[in-house]
């Protein structure tokens, strides 16, 4: 029988209150039986549902304009076309279904950008489970369309007011709910973070992304990708896009973090104006796992920043931390301005409005290969960029952030009264 | 056994509040070293953490705080693992060494289950500190045995599922959990939701050796802070609740068929 991964080098583990440990043991057992060993045909049912309800497989599409702009072959893995508009449904549907197999009666989840909350609300409606979502007040205000989508799907959205009101606080608050309701409730964590077995399990539900990339590049081009590029907040779309290629040393893997407004930190205020935990973070323990974190010298967690809610997190998945230490994954960062520019470029040149999170992955191509690029990276071809989500949820924020900057490639955002 | 967050709302007042607990008859005092992500804490203690951090509390300040305390009661440090891990040059060991130096006698770490505690266990053994584990209403069977093998000092019996916070009534889980622990020869301190002398009496009557009270005491600090009361007035209220809790615990011991120590 396959066994779950609980540690990745020194990273990972299970740093949670004792009250949760029995539930985590139960979940580890369910993950081993149903997911890893397909007991009761669980994975068959998951595959069928993610096809019929989710719309898999998603296309792998050549990006004509970007390929000619950058002089390299660029392909887009279109996770934005998955039901809900982001990769998040792979994991949400997988976990809600697993909760059902485990006999749980209620679903809770945190959300940053609202994409995971939306995906969880959809999956819970689809599988007829009651669902509550915790979301930071700040994120509620910058991702309002998703709040309404969650409510339309029957989920209750609980605002979290403590701290800066972003993803970190939402995760803490969801853990508190879980510590109270653990006997009946499953916590659908939204990325490859948290205590084992979550990082491995969430990765496995998203691994379908790289499995499809592998067969699609084989069928279309007769080769493996040369490079895979994905944005990384917690790192779930990242690990999903990388999973199949971890053992293929010829495939270069780039995790693009949010460089925010600057990579410096303000220790006094406990604020890092970025979310680049892989490139600048230090080892520590947060939300159940040992991983790379943005923290001050005392070990207090710093508030992160990014223009995109989904990347705005002080931690990152433990396996990604390990893969970076092993030099298997290259961490890079793209700031708010470059991400916004990339948001407009993809919209105009390829007819795809990306999520602001996803825009960071495209910003990386521009800052290295674009007309003003620094040429710092030689990409192996073909380059596959994971389009982790679509940008409909970001329109309000993108317009506001665009207006606050002088972006050369932004369209007219005038509102007609 | 009262709990306060050290440095709430500021260093000087907090010293007086802890001394008031000792004057009120506390047998052990749990001192919280605040961490920015207190995932096991309810709103009352979360707010205390915010006040204390805003008042400039750091691990080093915490040790200075303990050194400056004028109390004759065993002190236990309650904090989250990342702070223990990051302190000093040697992860975990430096923290425990410094804690021992200022006279702390034990540590409780709410986000460190027995599985991940080997390093801390070793350091505590080396410097003679107790490592106190939490047993939850969901803890049973092999898990319970594993925890009870590793525990020293006392075991922290979590009276109910959920997070910390004062409650109106006691949880029915308490007696059940205490019954499960009866066979283990380790003092049992019950916490989570206890707020009055009457609660303390019932819990001790049900077999606990001690009661842990945090949020009910912290609410006094929060109220005093909000209405700008003098430190002395707040300290007096804290001492009086500590006295009530202690009297309750003693009374609970006497209600038992065969009285035991509290
Ligand atoms: C579209 C999209 N991409 C990426 C992310 C970041 O998450 P992760 O790093 O787990 O893929 C989010 C999170 O909300 C998202 O909505």
Query: Tell me, what's the pLDDT at B167?
Result: 87
Q: Give me the residues of A, 20-59, that contact B with CB < 8 A.
A: 21-23, 25
List pLDDT tens digits, range A326-384.
999 999 999 999 999 999 999 999 999 999 999 999 999 999 999 999 999 999 999 99
Please compute the mean of the pLDDT values over residues B228-256 and round it to a whole number.
97
Peptide bond into B9 cis (omega under 30): yes
Query: Tell me, what's the pLDDT at B257?
Result: 76
Query: Tell me, what's the pLDDT at A143?
Result: 86
Residue B182 inside a domain? The answer is: yes
Query: Tell me, what's the pLDDT at B49?
Result: 96
Q: How far apart are CA A321 and CA B122, in angstroms?
A: 27
Query: Tell me, what's the pLDDT at A1?
Result: 59
Q: For residue A415, is pLDDT > 90?
A: no
Residue in A closest to B33 by C-alpha: A300
Q: For residue B253, is pLDDT > 80?
A: yes
All structural domains of chain A: 24-53+89-189 (3.40.50.1100), 60-84+206-403 (3.40.50.1100)
Long-range contacts of the stretch B179-188 (C-beta < 8 A, 24+): B179/B207, B180/B140, B180/B144, B181/B135, B181/B144, B181/B148, B181/B155, B181/B157, B182/B207, B184/B148, B184/B155, B186/B148, B186/B151, B186/B154, B186/B155, B187/B153, B187/B154, B187/B155, B188/B154, B188/B155, B188/B157
Q: Is the dihedral of CA A15, A290, A235, B53 positive or negative?
A: positive
Residue B260 inside a domain? The answer is: no
Residue B58 inside a domain? The answer is: yes
The verdict on a CB contact (< 8 Å) between B111 and A180 is no
Residue in B closest to A268 by C-alpha: B56
Nearest to B37 among A16, A23, A286 (CB): A286
Q: How far apart are CA B251 and CA B262, in angstroms?
A: 9
List pLDDT tens digits, range B90-115.
999 999 999 999 999 999 999 999 99
Q: For residue B169, is pLDDT > 90?
A: no
List pLDDT tens digits, range B133-156.
999 999 999 999 999 999 999 999
Average pLDDT, chain B: 95
Q: For residue A209, is pLDDT > 90?
A: yes
Q: Determine phi and psi for A162, rounding to 5 degrees.
A: -70, 155
Residue A244 structure tokens: 């199949």
The verdict on a CB contact (< 8 Å) between B135 and A297 is no
Residue B194 inside a domain? The answer is: yes
Query: Tell me, what's the pLDDT at A265?
Result: 75
Q: For residue A416, is pLDDT > 80?
A: no
Structural domain boundaries, residue B172: 3-255
For the CA of A232, the nearest atom of ligand 1? 9
Please compute the mean of the pLDDT values over residues A120-140 and round it to a whole number.
97
Whether the CB of A357 sits within 6 Å of ligand 1: yes
Residue B126 makes CB contacts below 8 A (sequence gap 6+) with B93, B96
Please compute the mean of the pLDDT values over residues A14-33 and round it to a whole number.
96
Could you tell me which residues are beta bridge partners of residue B190?
B157, B211
Q: How far apart are CA A148 and CA A110, in angstroms?
A: 15
Distance of CA B18 to the CA centre of its chain: 12
The verdict on a CB contact (< 8 Å) between B138 and A180 is no
Query: Is B30 assigned a catalytic role?
Result: yes
List pLDDT tens digits, range A328-342.
999 999 999 999 999
Q: Which of A6, A19, A22 is best to mutate for the B interface (most B CBs within 10 A)?
A: A19
Q: How far apart are CA B60 and CA B63, in angstroms?
A: 5
Q: How many domains does chain B have?
A: 1
Residue B98 inside a domain? The answer is: yes
Residue B261 inside a domain? The answer is: no
Residue B185 inside a domain? The answer is: yes
Q: Which residues of B touch A14 (CB under 8 A)?
A: 113, 115-116
Could you tell me which residues are beta bridge partners of residue B217?
none
Q: For residue B258, is pLDDT > 80?
A: no
pTM of the model: 0.96
Confidence of residue A261 (pLDDT cuts 50, 70, 90): confident
Average pLDDT, chain A: 95
CB-based contact A60:A78 (threshold 8 Å): yes
Task: Residue B130: give its domain's CATH number.
Answer: 3.20.20.70
Residue A61 structure tokens: 């599409």
DSSP state of A38: -
Q: For residue A3, is pLDDT > 90?
A: no
Query: Tell me, what's the pLDDT at A413?
Result: 74
Whether the CB of A370 sits within 6 Å of ligand 1: no
Residue B187 inside a domain? The answer is: yes
Residues B19, B30, B205, B244: which is the catalytic one? Answer: B30
Query: Tell me, what's the pLDDT at A386?
Result: 99
List pLDDT tens digits, range A70-125.
999 999 999 999 999 999 999 999 999 999 999 999 999 999 989 999 999 999 99
Q: For residue B261, is pLDDT > 70?
A: no
List pLDDT tens digits, range B207-234.
999 999 999 999 999 999 999 999 999 9
Residue in B closest to A288 by C-alpha: B111
Confidence of residue A263 (pLDDT cuts 50, 70, 90): confident
């Amino acid at each position: 029988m396959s066994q779950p991964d609980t540690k990745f080098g020194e990273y990972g583990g299970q740093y949670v209150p004792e009250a949760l440990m029995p539930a985590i043991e139960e979940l580890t057992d369910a993950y081993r039986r149903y997911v890893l060993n397909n007991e009761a045909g669980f994975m068959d049912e998951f595959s069928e549902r993610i096809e019929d309800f989710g719309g898999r497989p998603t296309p792998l599409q050549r990006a004509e304009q970007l390929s000619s702009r950058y002089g390299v072959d660029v392909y887009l893995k279109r996770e934005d076309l998955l039901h809900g508009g982001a990769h998040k449904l792979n994991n949400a549907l997988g976990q809600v279904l697993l909760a059902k197999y485990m006999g749980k009666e209620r679903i809770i989840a945190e959300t940053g950008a609202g994409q995971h909350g939306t995906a969880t609300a959809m999956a819970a409606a689809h599988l007829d489970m009651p669902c509550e979502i915790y979301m930071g007040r700040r994120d509620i205000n910058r991702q309002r369309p998703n709040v309404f989508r969650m409510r339309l799907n029957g989920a209750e959205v609980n605002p979290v007011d403590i701290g800066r009101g972003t993803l970190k606080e939402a995760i803490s608050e969801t853990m508190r709910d879980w510590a109270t309701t653990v006997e009946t409730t499953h916590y659908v964590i939204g990325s490859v973070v948290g205590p084992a077995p979550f990082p491995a399990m969430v990765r496995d539900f998203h691994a379908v992304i790289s499995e499809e990339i592998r067969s699609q590049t084989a069928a279309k081009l007769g080769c493996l990708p040369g490079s895979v590029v994905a944005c990384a907040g917690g790192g779930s779309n990242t690990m999903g896009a990388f999973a199949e290629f971890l053992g293929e040393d010829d495939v270069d893997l780039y995790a693009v973090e949010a460089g925010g407004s600057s990579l410096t930190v303000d220790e006094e205020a406990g604020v890092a104006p970025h979310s680049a935990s892989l490139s600048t973070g230090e080892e520590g323990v947060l939300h159940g796992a040992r991983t790379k974190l943005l923290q001050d010298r005392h070990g207090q967690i710093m508030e992160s920043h990014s223009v995109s809610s989904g990347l705005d997190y002080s931690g990152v998945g433990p396996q990604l931390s390990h893969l970076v230490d092993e030099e298997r994954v290259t961490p890079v960062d793209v700031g708010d301005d470059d991400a916004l520019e990339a948001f407009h470029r993809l919209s105009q040149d390829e007819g795809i409005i990306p999520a602001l999170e996803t825009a960071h992955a495209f910003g990386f191509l521009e800052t290295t290969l674009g007309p003003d690029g620094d040429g710092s990276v030689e990409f192996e071809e073909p380059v596959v960029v994971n389009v982790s989500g679509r940008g409909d949820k970001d329109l309000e924020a993108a317009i506001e952030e665009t207006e606050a900057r002088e972006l050369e490639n932004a369209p007219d955002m005038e509102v007609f009264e | 056994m009262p709990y306060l967050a050290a440095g709430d709302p500021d260093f000087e007042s907090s010293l007086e509040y802890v001394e008031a607990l000792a004057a009120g008859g506390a047998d052990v005092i749990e001192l919280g070293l605040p961490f920015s992500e207190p995932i096991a804490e309810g709103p009352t203690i979360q707010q205390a953490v915010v006040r204390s951090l805003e008042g400039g509390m750091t691990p080093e300040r915490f040790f200075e705080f303990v050194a400056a305390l004028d109390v004759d009661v065993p002190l236990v440090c309650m904090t989250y693992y990342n702070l223990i891990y990051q302190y000093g040059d040697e992860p975990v060991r430096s923290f425990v060494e410094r804690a021992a130096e200022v006279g702390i006698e034990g540590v409780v770490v709410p986000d460190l289950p027995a599985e991940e505690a080997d390093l801390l266990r070793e350091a505590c053994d080396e410097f003679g500190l107790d490592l106190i584990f939490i047993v939850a209403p969901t803890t049973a069977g092999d898990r319970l045995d594993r925890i009870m093998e590793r525990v020293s000092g006392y075991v922290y019996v979590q009276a109910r599922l959920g997070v910390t916070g004062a409650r109106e009534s006691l949880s029915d889980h308490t007696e059940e959990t205490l019954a499960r622990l009866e066979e283990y020869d380790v003092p049992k301190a019950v916490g989570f939701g206890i707020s009055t002398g009457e609660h303390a009496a019932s819990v001790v009557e049900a077999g606990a050796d001690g009661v842990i009270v945090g949020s009910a005491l912290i609410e006094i600090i929060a109220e005093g802070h909000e209405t700008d009361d003098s430190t002395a007035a707040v300290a007096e209220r804290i001492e009086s609740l500590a006295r009530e809790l202690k009297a309750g615990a003693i009374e609970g011991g006497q209600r038992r068929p065969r009285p035991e120590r509290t």
